[in-house]
Amino acid sequence: MKLFRTIAILVAAITLTSACKQRGEVTEAEAQELATREKRLADRIAGFAVDTVGGPALARWVLPAELKEISGLAVTADGNLLAHNDEQGRVFVIDPKRGLVTKQFMVGGGDLRGDFEAIAVSGADIFMLVSNGTIYRFREGMDGEAVRYTTIDTKLGHECEFEGIAVDRGGVVLLPCKNVGRKALRDQLVIYRWELKRGASQRPSMLMIPHSQLIGPTGWKTLHPSDMAIDPATGNYVIIASLEKGLIEITPGGSVVRSGPLPEASEQAEGVAITKDGILAISDEGNRAPATITLYRWPLAPAAVSTGALSTTNPEDSR
């Protein structure tokens, strides 16, 4: 009986102690660390600091286990990053300058699962892409909130496997194709343009650029885009390819601005985003090491560039 009483008192003490710790509380020491990080990053951006170890990265944040399979990355209007893993409809909001997960919210009831591949932001709307071309549309939620969503079925899953999504300035959803189904298009980079205003019955137009123009002197045999972002300064499309470990930048018209390797050797770059103040964020899925988000100055230092002719078509024209 005495033993039972002792155990009960211990459990009650632990429970109460734990309950007393307020959710969302940052200690003074942690606040100081966050301020130091912010200042360090500002110094690095300004070029005052030269203590960056191992390359051009401004900062690298090691992600928690829940984001080990980080898949998509996007920037919100207030400069935060949105990230998610590839299985759960759960979005993490990360302050990139301080390396702080500020909140997380769930899409649907919290148990939404799917092969989520990418995320993009347009105004107040957030778009999350499934590899079969289905898009989940929702708004940013509060910490711990389950937000409602609607789905857009592009019906493009049989033509293409998707891993990236971006929304351009005109509100057109851009879907770069990782693996093209149609043989005739396999030697080209294909980007579908899905216009939100036209509804589900539309047949999207496509931007097609031959691989030969994109690859140039890089030595890649082909190109498998794993994510895409819009440069807020120029409106250019920035695409990363995990398999080729490459980064390309093209104009909305299809001209190649930049084609070269990623800023640093990366194990599996799955997400890309660019902030208004010129920071390129690349998420790297964790395999042997933990997943990370790395920040670089944008635009990057000049790399190999190959310019090519534009090829824009509507699929109905190509039939």
Partner 1 sequence: MPFFRRFIDLMSLGSERPILRLVAYYLGVGVIIIGLAYFYPESEKLLLGRGAATPAQTPLILEDGLTPAPAATTLSAGSLLELTVTTTLVLLGTMVLMLPVSWVYMSARHVPGHAQAVVQTLIILPLVVAGIVLIVRDSLSLAFSLAGVVAAVRFRTNLRDTRDVVFIFLSIAVGFAAGVQTLAVGAVLTIVFNFVLLLTWRYDYGRNVLTPTAASQWAGPLASLASQDDHDSVPDRDLVLTLSPKSADALADRFERVSDVLGKRGKKPRYTAVLSVQTNEVAEAQELVEKVLDDKAKRWKLDEVVTNTGKPSEVYYILRPRKSVTRDELLTAIRDIAGEKVEHVDLESRDAIEEEVGVSV
Residue from 38, 43, 56, 66 binding partner 1 (CB under 8 A): 66
Q: Is 51 in the site for partner 1 (CB under 8 A)?
A: yes
Q: Is 129 in the site for partner 1 (CB under 8 A)?
A: no
The shares of helix, strand and coil residues in the chain, as percent rounded to the nearest 5, are: 20, 40, 40
Nearer to partner 1, 53 or 301 (CB): 53
- Nearest alpha-carbon partner for 40 in 32, 31, 49: 49
Residue 19, amino acid: A
Does the protein bind partner 1 through residue 292 (CB under 8 A)? yes
Tokens found for residue 77: 């209007």
Which CA distances in Å does 223 have to 36, 115, 257? Answer: 40, 21, 16
Indicate the residue among 146 and 310 with the shorter CB distance to partner 1: 146
Q: What's the one-letter identity of residue 286?
A: G
Site for partner 1 in 135-164 (CB under 8 A): 143-144
84 binds partner 1 (CB under 8 A): no
How many residues of this chain interact with partner 1, rule: CB under 8 A? 49
- Residue 295 CB coordination number (10 Å): 23
Q: Does 57 contact partner 1 by CB under 8 A?
A: yes
> Taking contact as CB under 8 A, which single stretch among the options 11-19, 125-133, 192-200, 251-259 is the one that binds partner 1?
11-19
Sign of CA dihedral 298, 302, 306, 309: positive
Options 54, 123, 219, 302; binder of partner 1; rule CB under 8 A = 54
DSSP letters, 44-79, are HHHT------SSS-SEEEEPPGGGTTEEEEEE-TTS
- Binding residue (CB under 8 A) for partner 1 from 23, 183, 288, 319: 23
Residues 229-268 that bind partner 1 (CB under 8 A): none
Q: Among 2, 28, 48, 61, which residue sits at the site for partner 1 (rule: CB under 8 A)?
A: 61
CA atoms within 13 A on the CB side of 191: 32
**109 lines the binding site for partner 1 (CB under 8 A):** no
Determine, following the binding rule CB under 8 A, whether residue 2 of this chain makes contact with partner 1: no
Q: How many Cβ atoms sit within 10 Å of the Cβ of residue 47?
A: 8
* Interface residues toward partner 1, by CB under 8 A: 1, 4, 11, 14-19, 21, 23-24, 26, 29-30, 33-34, 37, 40, 51-54, 57, 59-67, 88, 90, 92, 94, 99-104, 110-111, 143-144, 292, 294
